Structure 1
Amino acid sequence: MPTIRLSVRELVEFLLRTGSIDSRFTGFDRANEGARIHRRLQKAAGEGYAAEVFLTAERTMEGIGFTIEGRADGIFTDEDGTVVIDEIKTTAAPTDAITEDMNPCHWAQGMVYGAICAEQQELETLDVRLTYYQVDTDEIIRYTRHFSAAELDAFLNDLLRQYLPWARRQLDWVEARNRSLGALQFPFPAYRPGQRALAGEVYRACAAGKAEQKGGTRLFCQAPTGIGKTMSALFPALKAMGEGKGEKIFYLTARNTTQAAAEDALARLRAADPALSLRSVTLSAKEKACLCKDAEGRPACLPEACPYANGYYERLKDALADLLDSAVPYDRAALTETARRHRVCPFELGLDLSEWCDVVIGDYNYLFDPTVHLRRFFDAAGDYIFLIDEAHNLPDRARAMYSARFCKSSLTDARRAIGKGKSALKTALTKADRGFLEARRAVTKLAPRRGSAPTEPPTEDLTRQTSLLDTEPAEAAFPLPEPLLARDGTVFLQELPKELLRLLFSLQAPLQDWLEANPEADAHAQLLELYFAVQDITRAAERYDAHFVTQLTARGSELEWELLCLDPAPFVDASLAAGRAAALFSATLTPPGYYRSVLGCPDARAVALENPFPPEHLGLYCLPGISTRYRDREASVQAVSDALAALARAKVGNYLAFFPSYAYLRQAYEDFTARYPDIGTLAQESGLDDAARAAFLEQFGPSPAKTLLGFGVMGGIFGEGVDLVGDRLIGCAIVGVGLPQVNPRQEILRRYYDEAGGTGFDYAYRFPGMNKVLQAAGRVIRTQEDRGVVLLLDDRFARAEYTRLFPRHWHQLQYLRSTTELEQQLAAFWARNQ
């Protein structure tokens, strides 16, 4: 018998939810706050109150089986011996609006839990209690209704009867999907070298599921650029899903270009097999998807301001049915067109549609970000397959997701924005601003500024290193914990600054009151932004532990407060545990132990696939006589220019040179253009938007009549995720080993990993730097037909601690003594590769 599994909340909200999207009550992200309040109320209920009780029931309706499950907030027996289901709801609605019939979904959830509980305990009657907690006033309002078991059973059966058409739709779809996936063939005549190995590894990880380890199987796979990683990961995952080994695939990326690669791979599968039944949706950021923005370009998620938010839930089912009956992939254009036709929000439509899709494509944050992750899927484990593309980006992205930042200036600006006059908000802002001012003075005393911070990466000889952490702090009046580091306007603390946190907590209620009372005020958008900033850092404070440090930085009148996640491993691990299997893949996952460590997968399988391209297609050279260390950069500029000129003159074509910083890039660019004006050049500017990025890459056209040398930054927007196939790029130079610039934050990271395992310099500097080097080098050879050269400029590329990080296919690297010898080798290479 076919079976549908539904959560209680999913069943109730899909059938009964009505009304509009309203950010005044849903946009403040109450989920974490609500969970805290639930735990507090559950604990206060005392003995005999069972909290978070898992309930499940089986029902059959017209030949379809239903598994209904969920967690009741509380179950207890009252003084009369009656069993009571307690459904707890937190709300920002005004107290006088919290009525017994405020939201039918709330009663419905309690009644479904009641029906299951009554059946399991063989009860004849049962009570359902709604407990409302008003978050601003701390007021608790309760309503109780008495039901017979027969009433509750009939109610649940009626809901399932309403859901039957949708259940049949989904079961028919899954049957057709699995049948077509069973017949699906690899969409190319043959596998490229290495593709079959990657596909086999991904399939085995999906098939193993949760059998191998708690939290799902984890696979790290380093696969060379150009092997076809996207198809090699998607195809076996789809085959596994078609065999019942996975309910849904999440293809998660760090950038839009790799989302497009996943869309292209699915399009190729559909083109190769027009009978393929497969639903995929690409989730865009709200700011990009929104059809109704305010004057400042922000989404206006209020029913009176946005026709797509007003009455959204009244029209949602028709929009979903329209999409599910169509055969198009659900990309941004399809969602926008359907949203306009049905007058619904395209962003929310994409989220609601994802529950009916087989493949969901989106950013990392939909799984890993604690604020915006997809709670409808990941608040509990599911039968999901995670494909994590360009996984070398995940450590830094994860650190950023779990960190938070707050600036004193936002308090000062908000106080000015609300104007003159007395109010609770004005008083709270003034008090908080004054407290941050005192903290800024304390930081200035602890860490007086002594000019600009050094930018040279630290020496790698740790025995002789004078660490920035050795600075002795001064005393300060403001109650700050003992610093780990106090230097040049920056203080690092292991403990939270509780006084600053208290000031922001006291700001929350008056700030929310003002926002809800003044929705049309000119300052509303500014204070809403402040509210989110306060929420962000107070939420981060709740997960703060030994994996974090606090950074306070004083600059002029500004005080920046950051809660920095140094080690995201436990948080990434918890996110990946929401699925049955995760495959994390990239061209650069070296060394694997580093990535397994920082991403919380110490026991994961790690494989490195061989380069599929003939080694003679890549010319790989190094001039180890050049030092690009910070202290040597000015002296190295002419030697670097000469080497770049030799590279660019060896053959007419397009080249890229990657530098460790914009400052060094500009030095070299000025020298090069002055001394080699006959060679065409192009320099990357900082802060390029999508259009400027595209315009830069358009200059690297096929079959160039003249040579073009582009100057870019390692780790920047051209250092990875750029696919210049064929003669659009025939060579690149990598200037330096890519070490991050030294600053107190990198030194704190270094200290953390030194204490964790003595790997501080590697984790904070060497491994991230070499990742950027290898990514930049991977821009050259993209297909079997490509020929190109990579030039390494730095003496450290000849040292064992760096050569051990080289990929195996770099065995043909040639170390040269001069630019003249480089010219000779380049001429020979291009003579062999005409």
Structure 2
Amino acid sequence: METIGEALSGGRDVLFEGACGTGKTLAALVPALEYAREANKTVVITTNVHQQTRQFIEEARAITRQESIQAVVFKGKLDMCHIDVGYEECQALRDTTRELAETEQERAELAETERTLLDESRAREGANADQAAEGRNAVMEELDELDDTLEELQEQATCEYYYRNVTEETDAFYEWLFADVRTPEEIYEYAHNAGLCGYELLKEGMEGVDLVVCNYHHVLDPMIREQFFRWLGRDPEDVVVVFDEAHNIEDAARDHATRTLTESTLESALSELESVEDRRTTSAENVIEAFYTALTSTYDDALAFGERETIGDEWYDLSITNETGRDELTLSFLDAYTGAGIHNDLDRSLDLGNSLDRSYQQEYKNGETRTRKECRILQSASFIDDWLRDSDHNEMYPVVSVRRDGGNDSVYGRSELYTCIPRQVTEPLFEELHASVLMSATLRPFDVLSDVLGITGYVGDDDEQDGPVTMAYGAQFPEERRRTYAVDTPALFASRREEHDIQRKITGVLEDAIEFTPGNVLCFFPSYREAERYQALIDVDATLYLDEPGASVEERKREFTGSSNGVFFTSLWGTLTEGVSFDGDDARTVVVVGVPYPRLDDRMEAVQSAYSMAFDGNDNDSDDPGWEYAVEVPTVRKTRQALGRVVRSPEDFGARLLVDERYTMRARREMQKYSVVETFPPEERTETIDIEPEKLRFGLLNFYTDMDAWVGAPPTP
């Protein structure tokens, strides 16, 4: 806490790794709130894991029992809207409703003035009476004009919930809000029962609060962040952000930076142009129709014979790379374009789109349309402009994908600018914030994280550049109450997963792990397919649970934790790897099978290539920073997260198994580049015990016997 407090005082970022269950949230939150109180800052704590949000609320409630702080939990509009409209529609409704309420207020004030002047004209005599009467007539004229305005406004679409916000007393809401830390669901219910808009009340009441709990979305999206900080009444340099599960920032930022345009949006834009009378439509047709033609021809050419029939309802990537220069979609677009000047046509298209978008806003505001119309011309032209500018950038990867329309069974396409390196989103954020704390159980290696996110440090009083403060704490619970084994089975390379001998050996290890664990076993695999494979191969006296894509993982988790001899099979890349606790008897042994590298598709190879180019000159020992930054480090972080699902308190105990020879110290000596041991922190490498598969049962039997965990006689090896 002292280290974090000193870093925040100096405006420095903090990279904070602490083992699962050791109190990272309070260790970061307490000094951040203390510093913010002294320096007149606001603390924002954010995560992308729902369970962690609930934990933040509990922590904030505990703090408010001891210290007088104002804390709010903020959620997006779509989750809190009482009438279920989109953002643009909401904005238009809000503007019209406020104008209506303000006009009504103005009319009421003028009506009061008119009555006062009438009384004065009756009470006075001579010139004074005439002056009062003349003033009253002027007010009456204004009232007539306001009545006409009100009549027009009353015919337009408004929001009754927001109308009550601006016309009724809301002090009771804020007294209730700040009496405790309220969840978004509680705010929604309270506001709904009162006929108010809780989302808008929350926005208007956030200024000057001490603590805000929110999702990554509100901080990582540049447009939303600007509004969010405005609601807080803070400039970015007056905000301290605490990121939980910060190893996820990279993927979340990549999602926010990635841009897409579907074939259906292009079709809608072309249809929209048919109804527009404007000289700029020719320019817009030139670029949008050419891009539409290019997109459809590109995916038609890229699909192999019979491949179209295999496409399902998930987006399916097609390779459009061209070794001689620009990608195939760009080349096809430039070939299809027939106008006089592509950049001039794009500028005119954007002008037209912006004009139409403003008119759609006004039409909805005036009640001429029931919904706020989206300008597909603007969306298409903006994306095409981005594509021409960025698609050949080293940090971007142009993609064409297709999927099947469930309604008519046709295949349609999407163009995408996939962001390989997310620092274009994160680097400006860390530069403009006063400071931040990035915390997770799996942040290391810190230099990789700093490079990828663009956390370069700060300039101190002596104008010397300094990096972030780094701090790491390993498992704080008694070491004798946990056991970590690296089981020396053959490496489960993707190319060898079908080999029966390897399957037999891994199945034997899993069966031993299950038989010699007095309780539930949690098993992670490189994919759902592998999880399903070994669930079918296992022959044990236990209840087997399979996590399948699309199934309710929460329901399966409840069934699993409610059993006393269950085995849960899931993918390491699923939802149970992090942010989910398996305390005590919920799970005793956790098993990670193989080194679960993500599928090395074109996107991953593009990320790897971008990282290689971006970080090849960095001061690191890696022969291939692309592989290290893009694949190995994220995979080992995921593996460490999985191991952290068990042993969650000082009283807890359990075993963690890494089933693959690449985790062993022998592999470090003999397999060299295939070994992943060096990617683990030193204290975790020291604690891990190499073990032969046939000896695992004895190791588990002895460990759980030492823990006095067996009910009745233990199994016999």
TM-score range, shorter chain: 0.7 to 0.9
SS state at 1:237 partner: helix
Shift of 1:391: 0.5
SS state at 2:454 partner: coil
> CA separation in 1, counterparts of 2:333 and 2:472?
45
SS state at 2:703 partner: helix
> CA separation in 2, counterparts of 1:248 and 1:543?
38
> CA separation in 2, counterparts of 1:549 and 1:218?
27
SS state at 1:310 partner: helix
Q: How does 1:210-359 map to 2 (within 5 A)?
A: 217-242=12-37, 244-271=38-65, 273=66, 276-293=67-84, 302=93, 303=97, 304=157, 306-310=159-163, 312-315=165-168, 318=171, 321-323=174-176, 326-340=178-192, 343-359=195-211
Structure 2 match to 1:591: 445
1:590 maps to a residue whose letter is R
Query: Is the CA contact (8 Å cut-off) linking 2:269 and 2:377 kept in structure 1?
Result: no
> CA separation in 1, counterparts of 2:394 and 2:202?
34
User: C-alpha offsets along residues 318-338 of structure 1, whole Å, 9 cap, x if unaligned?
Assistant: 4665457x5222332442245
Shift of 1:797: 1.7
User: C-alpha offsets along residues 479-537 of structure 1, whole Å, 9 cap, x if unaligned?
Assistant: 46999xxxxxxxxxxxx999889867755544664575478899957x63958965984
Shift of 1:370: 1.4
Shift of 1:687: 3.6
SS state at 1:774 partner: helix
1:258 maps to a residue whose letter is Q
Distance 1:582 1:623, change over 3 A: same
Q: How does 1:549-698 map to 2 (within 5 A)?
A: 549-555=396-402, 557-602=411-456, 603-635=467-499, 636-672=502-538, 675-676=539-540, 678-688=541-551, 692-698=552-558
Query: Is the CA contact (8 Å cut-off) linking 1:222 and 1:585 kept in structure 2?
Result: yes
> CA separation in 2, counterparts of 1:587 and 1:369?
25
* Greater helix proportion: 2
Query: Is the CA contact (8 Å cut-off) linking 1:226 and 1:782 kept in structure 2?
Result: yes
Unaligned 5+ runs, structure 1: 1-198, 210-216, 454-466, 484-495
Query: Does 2:602 match 1:732?
Result: no
Q: How does 1:490-529 map to 2 (within 5 A)?
A: 507=353, 509-510=355-356, 513=359, 517=363, 524=371, 528=374
User: C-alpha offsets along residues 203-239 of structure 1, whole Å, 9 cap, x if unaligned?
Assistant: 2222223xxxxxxx11101111111111111122222
Distance 1:516 1:741, change over 3 A: farther
User: C-alpha offsets along residues 12-36 of structure 1, whole Å, 9 cap, x if unaligned?
Assistant: xxxxxxxxxxxxxxxxxxxxxxxxx
Query: Is the CA contact (8 Å cut-off) linking 1:381 and 1:577 kept in structure 2?
Result: no
1:682 maps to a residue whose letter is Y
Shift of 1:738: 2.4
> CA separation in 2, counterparts of 1:501 and 1:679?
66
Distance 1:592 1:363, change over 3 A: same
> CA separation in 1, counterparts of 2:158 and 2:645?
46
Structure 2 match to 1:786: 652
Distance 1:396 1:679, change over 3 A: same
Distance 1:539 1:481, change over 3 A: closer
Query: Is the CA contact (8 Å cut-off) linking 1:650 and 1:826 kept in structure 2?
Result: yes
Identity %: 22
Structure 2 length as normaliser, TM-score? Answer: 0.73
Unaligned 5+ runs, structure 2: 98-156, 309-318, 336-341, 404-410, 457-466, 617-624, 669-674, 709-717
> CA separation in 2, counterparts of 1:618 and 1:781?
7
* Greater strand proportion: 1
Shift of 1:559: 3.0
Query: Is the CA contact (8 Å cut-off) linking 1:392 and 1:589 kept in structure 2?
Result: yes
Distance 1:643 1:651, change over 3 A: same
1:733 maps to a residue whose letter is V
Shift of 1:755: 1.3
Distance 1:658 1:536, change over 3 A: farther
Query: Is the CA contact (8 Å cut-off) linking 1:254 and 1:363 kept in structure 2?
Result: yes
SS state at 2:32 partner: helix
Structure 2 match to 1:486: none
Query: Is the CA contact (8 Å cut-off) linking 1:549 and 1:564 kept in structure 2?
Result: yes
Query: Does 2:3 match 1:201?
Result: yes
> 344-353 or 710-719: which moved more?
344-353
Query: Does 2:689 match 1:817?
Result: no
Structure 2 match to 1:361: 213
Shift of 1:368: 1.8
Structure 1 match to 2:568: 710
Query: Is the CA contact (8 Å cut-off) linking 2:15 and 2:471 kept in structure 1?
Result: yes
1:698 maps to a residue whose letter is R
SS state at 1:372 partner: helix
Distance 1:539 1:715, change over 3 A: farther
Distance 1:450 1:762, change over 3 A: farther
Q: CA RMSD in A?
A: 3.9
Query: Is the CA contact (8 Å cut-off) linking 1:252 and 1:362 kept in structure 2?
Result: yes
Query: Is the CA contact (8 Å cut-off) linking 1:308 and 1:343 kept in structure 2?
Result: yes
Distance 1:234 1:615, change over 3 A: same
Shift of 1:582: 1.1
User: C-alpha offsets along residues 803-825 of structure 1, whole Å, 9 cap, x if unaligned?
Assistant: 1122313423222222x211111
> CA separation in 2, counterparts of 1:533 and 1:773?
40
Distance 1:421 1:476, change over 3 A: closer
SS state at 1:699 partner: helix
> 504-513 or 420-429: which moved more?
420-429
> CA separation in 1, counterparts of 2:344 and 2:533?
45
Structure 2 match to 1:399: 254
> CA separation in 2, counterparts of 1:505 and 1:792?
58
Query: Is the CA contact (8 Å cut-off) linking 1:289 and 1:347 kept in structure 2?
Result: yes
User: C-alpha offsets along residues 409-454 of structure 1, whole Å, 9 cap, x if unaligned?
Assistant: 23336778x8x9844599789766632332125534885648889x
1:686 maps to a residue whose letter is P
Structure 2 match to 1:795: 661
Query: Is the CA contact (8 Å cut-off) linking 2:487 and 2:660 kept in structure 1?
Result: yes
Structure 1 match to 2:114: none
Report which of the two structures shows the higher radius of gyration computed on alpha carbons: 2
| Larger RCO, structures 1/2 (Cα 8 Å, 6+ apart) | 2
> CA separation in 1, counterparts of 2:303 and 2:351?
29
SS state at 2:43 partner: strand
> CA separation in 2, counterparts of 1:332 and 1:771?
31
> CA separation in 2, counterparts of 1:311 and 1:739?
54
2:692 maps to a residue whose letter is R
Structure 1 match to 2:112: none
Distance 1:478 1:251, change over 3 A: closer
User: C-alpha offsets along residues 458-492 of structure 1, whole Å, 9 cap, x if unaligned?
Assistant: xxxxxxxxx99795679969646999xxxxxxxxx
Structure 1 match to 2:225: 373
Shift of 1:609: 1.3
